[in-house]
Structure 1
Amino acid sequence: MIMYTVLGVLAFVAAVLVLRTFKVVKEYERGVKFMLGKFVAVLEPGLRTVIPFIQSWERVDMRVKAVDLPRQESITRDNVTVEVDAVIYYRVRDAKKAILEVEEYSYAVEQLAQTTMRNIVGEVDLDALLAERERISRQIREIIDEATDPWGIEVQSVELKDIILAENMKRVIARQAEAERERRAVTIQAEGELEAAQNMADAANTLNDEEGALHLRTLQTLNSLSSDDSNTVIFAVPAEALRALEGIGADDGAASPDDASSVSAPASSVGAPE
Structure 2
Amino acid sequence: MASTTFRIGGDLGVRRLGFGAMHLPTEAGAGRENSVGVVRRAVELGVTLIDTAYLYGGGANEELIAEALHPYPDALLITTKVGVARSGASDEWRLDGRPAVLRDQVEQALRRLRVERIELLQLHRIDPETPLADQLGTLADLRTEGKIGRIGLSEVSVAELTQAQETVDIATVQNRYNVLDREHEPVLAACEAAGIAFLPWRPVAWGKSGAKAEVAAVAAELDATPTQIALAWLLGHSPVILPIPGTARIDHLEENLAAEGLHLSPAHRDRLDRLTEPT
TM-score range, shorter chain: under 0.3
TM-score (norm: length of structure 1): 0.21
Higher alpha-carbon Rg: 1
- Asked which structure has the greater RCO (Cα within 8 Å, sep 6+), the reply is 2
